[in-house]
Amino acid sequence: SIEKAWWKEAVVYQIYPASFLDSNGDGLGDIPGIVSKVRYIKSLGVDTIWLSPIFASPQKDMGYDVADYRSIHAPYGTVQDVQDLIDQLHAQKMRILMDLVVNHSSDQHAWFKESRSSKTNPKRDWYIWRDPKYDEQGNRKEPNNWKSIFGGSAWAFDENTSQYYLALFLPSQPDLNWESAEMRKATHDDMRFWLDRGVDGFRIDSMNLMSKHPDLPDGKVINDEPYQSGAEFFASGPKMHDYIREIRTEVLDKYDVMTVGELGFTKDEYSVSQYVAKDRRELNMLFTGDIVDMDFGASGKYERNDFHPRKIRKITDLWQTAMPRFDGWNTVYLDNHDSGRSLSRYASDSPEHRAMAAKMLATYLMTLSGTPFMLAGQEIGMANLGKEYGAESYIDVEGKNYYKGVLKARGGDVSKMSDVLRELQLKARDHGRLPMQWDDSPNADFTTSEKAWMTINKDYTEWNVASQLDDPTSIMTYWKAMIALRKEYPDLFVYGSYVPLPESETGEMILGYERYSQEMRQKSVVLLNFSDQVQKVDVEKYKGFSTLISNQGGDTYKGSHVELRAFGAVVLLR
Ligand code: TEU
C-alpha cells in the first residue's frame, strides 16, 4: 500500500509573481500583492503555493536568470516581504515552494563576473568554459554543435579570455558547472538560506540538465541546420543522481520539505523511475514534460501538431500505472508559465464551451494520483490571447526568438508568417503569464497603473474573479467543489489505484478511468469528453453507482448509458 504523506495530499497553486497583483501601481505584480490575497487562495481549498522566481535578476528570462539567490528583485519587494508571506501562509496552515534555478545563473551573478574575469580565477570552473575549435579555413567555431533551447548556438564567446561558455538557454544564462564541489556547496548554502526562513520546498528548474556528459560530444545530426539538439548529452548525465543525493543528505534531509524536479528530455519509464522511486530517496515528484508537449512537433515546440484526446489518454495511462510499479510519486498538471493555457490548447475557449471545458479539465486534475498543480487563473477559466492579437503582442523571449528566426529565413516577408502566428496563439509562453483577471474594472484590477507590464487579455470584462465568486454555476465554484472532493476522498483520488477504460469502451474522444480505494471499499468512474460533440458511454457494468459530481447538472444517466455533453465530465461513485 502507498505510504501517506502531506506532500502527496497537497494541492498546489502556481503564482507567476509579475502577473498576480500589483500593490504599488508600477504595473508589475509584487510580493505584498500576493500577501493581500492569501485568504482568497485559501478559500479555493488549495494549501500550497509555488512562486516562480522572485530573486534579484536582470529579468532577461523573467527571473529564471538569477543574479543573487539571497536577495529579491526590488520591484517585487524585499526579503522581509517574503518572510511576511511565508509567515502569513503558515498562519493559515499553508505552505510555500520556491523556484530553485541552479542549472544556470544570470551573467550578472557575482559568481559569473568572477568566473569570466580570467582563466585563472578561482571560480573559473564554476561555469563551463572551453577553447574554440577552428575549421579548415581557420574560422573560429563553437566547441560543439549543441543548439540553445531558445535558438542559436548553446555557446557564447567571451572576448576577454577568448573562450566559449556554455549557455543552454540565453547567452545571459550561463550554465553552472556542477562538477565543481565548491559551486555545489555555495548552492547548498543558498538553499539553506531560504529553508531556514521557513520555505517548505523547491520546484527545481531544468533539474536534469545539471549533469552533462563530461566530454560534451556533438549532438546527433538530424537535419542540415548548423546546430543540433545535443540533449542526449546534456540531459540526465552520469552524475545527475549523485548531485541530487548530495542535495538530500547535505540540505533537504534536515527539513520537512517537498521537492519537484522539472524533467525535460528524459521520457522513458526507467530513467524517470530513477528520480522518484521511493527506495532511491531522491525527489518527491517530477514535472514530466510530455503532458505540456502534446501539441509540440517533432522538430520543436512551434511546429504544428494538433492535439487529439488519444495523446492525453496515452500519457495519463502511462504515468498513472507506472508510478505504483516502482513506488514513485508524480505531479498532475496541465498548465504552467511556459506555454499556452490547456483550456485553449486541449479543450475549448469558445464562448459556448469555455465554462464546460474548464470544469472538465478541473475534473481531470482532481481525480488522478499525484500532486495536482494548477496555474493561477485556471480557477476562473483564463484563456489564451485571442486571434485579434498579432505577433507584436508577444513579448516573451522564446516566442520572439522563434518568430524572428523564421521571419529571417523567409526573407523578412511578414505576409508569410500566418502559420507561425497561429502556433504562437496556441503555445506562446505569454499566455501562461497573463495578468490575473480580478474584476471588470480597468486593467482587471490587476494594477492601478495605466499600463500593465504585459497585455491584459481583453476578455477580462467577462471572465474574472469577482463575477465568479458568488455564482454557484461558475468555474470557480466548480473548482472549489472538485478540490473539496479530493480532500474528502483521499483514499480514492489521491492514493487509489487507477484502471484505464479502453478506447473501445469509451470511444476515441473520451478519456475514462476507474479509481479504487484500498480493498475496493470505494470505486469511482471518471468520464471526460474532450470533444465538442455529444458522446454516449455504456455504463451497464456500473449498476448501483451514482453521480458524485458533474459539470452538466444532475441529468447524467440516460438508462444504461451516460450522455456526455460537449466537454462534459461525469464522476460516478459506489
Ligand atoms: O524551463 C525549462 C525548459 O526546458 C523550457 O525551455 C521549456 O521547455 C520551454 O519553455 C517550453 O516552451 C524552465 C523554466 O520553466 C522556464 O521558464 C525558463 O525559461 C527555463 O527553465 C530557463 O530557466
CA 455 to chain centre: 21
Segment 2-15, tens digit of pLDDT: 899 999 999 999 99
* Nearest ligand 1 atom to alpha carbon 265: 4
CATH architecture of 7-104+181-469: Alpha-Beta Barrel (3.20)
Does the beta carbon of 101 lie inside 6 Å of ligand 1?
A: yes
Mean pLDDT across the chain: 97
- Separation of CA 165 and ligand 1 centre (Å): 19
Instruction: Tell me the C-alpha to C-alpha distance, in Å, between residue 233 and each of 173, 214, 407.
Output: 19, 9, 30
- Best of 170, 175, 338, 427 for a ligand 1 pocket test (most atoms within 8 Å of beta carbon): 338
Give the whole-angstrom CA distance, residue 43 versus residue 63: 28
Cell match 563551463: residue? 128
The answer to whether the predicted template modeling score (pTM) of the entire model surpasses 0.90 is: yes
Does the beta carbon of 151 lie inside 6 Å of ligand 1?
A: no
Segment 183-224, tens digit of pLDDT: 999 999 999 999 999 999 999 999 999 999 999 999 999 999
**What ipTM score was computed for the predicted complex, to two decimals?**
0.95
Sort strands 48-51 and 12-15 into parallel, antiparallel or unpaired. Answer: parallel
Which helix (H) or strand (E) is 527 found in, with range? strand 523-529
Segment 154-179, tens digit of pLDDT: 999 999 999 999 999 999 999 999 99
Residue nearest to atom 10 of ligand 1 (CA): 338
Place 267 in a pLDDT band, splitting at 50, 70 and 90: very high
Residue nearest to atom 23 of ligand 1 (CA): 64
Give the whole-angstrom CA distance, residue 29 versus residue 6: 30
Does the beta carbon of 301 lie inside 6 Å of ligand 1?
A: yes
- Separation of CA 169 and ligand 1 centre (Å): 8
Residue nearest to atom 18 of ligand 1 (CA): 64
CA Rg value for the chain? 24
Does the beta carbon of 149 lie inside 6 Å of ligand 1?
A: yes
Place 84 in a pLDDT band, splitting at 50, 70 and 90: very high
Q: How confident is the model at residue 402, as a pLDDT? A: 96
Does the beta carbon of 61 lie inside 6 Å of ligand 1?
A: yes
| DSSP letter for each residue of 69-114 | EEEE-GGG--HHHHHHHHHHHHHTT-EEEEEE--SB--TTSHHHHH
* Nearest ligand 1 atom to alpha carbon 397: 19
Does the beta carbon of 178 lie inside 6 Å of ligand 1?
A: no
Give the whole-angstrom CA distance, residue 88 versus residue 477: 24
- Name which CATH class applies to 496-573: mainly beta
Q: Find the mean pLDDT for residues 378-388.
A: 98
Does the beta carbon of 430 lie inside 6 Å of ligand 1?
A: no
Residue nearest to atom 17 of ligand 1 (CA): 338
- Model confidence at 1: pLDDT above 90: no
* Residues forming the active site: 205, 262
Q: How confident is the model at residue 562, as a pLDDT? A: 96
What residue segments make up the domains of the chain, in order of their start?
7-104+181-469, 110-166, 496-573
CATH architecture of 110-166: Alpha-Beta Complex (3.90)
- Model confidence at 518: pLDDT above 90: no
Within 13 A of 237's CA, how many CA atoms are on the CB side? 21
Q: How confident is the model at residue 172, as a pLDDT? A: 98
- Model confidence at 554: pLDDT above 80: no
Does the beta carbon of 37 lie inside 6 Å of ligand 1?
A: no
> Which residue type, as a one-letter code, is found at position 105?
S
Q: Find the mean pLDDT for residues 35-59.
A: 98
Q: Find the mean pLDDT for residues 262-281.
A: 97
Q: How confident is the model at residue 405, as a pLDDT? A: 95
Q: How confident is the model at residue 520, as a pLDDT? A: 84
- Separation of CA 477 and ligand 1 centre (Å): 32
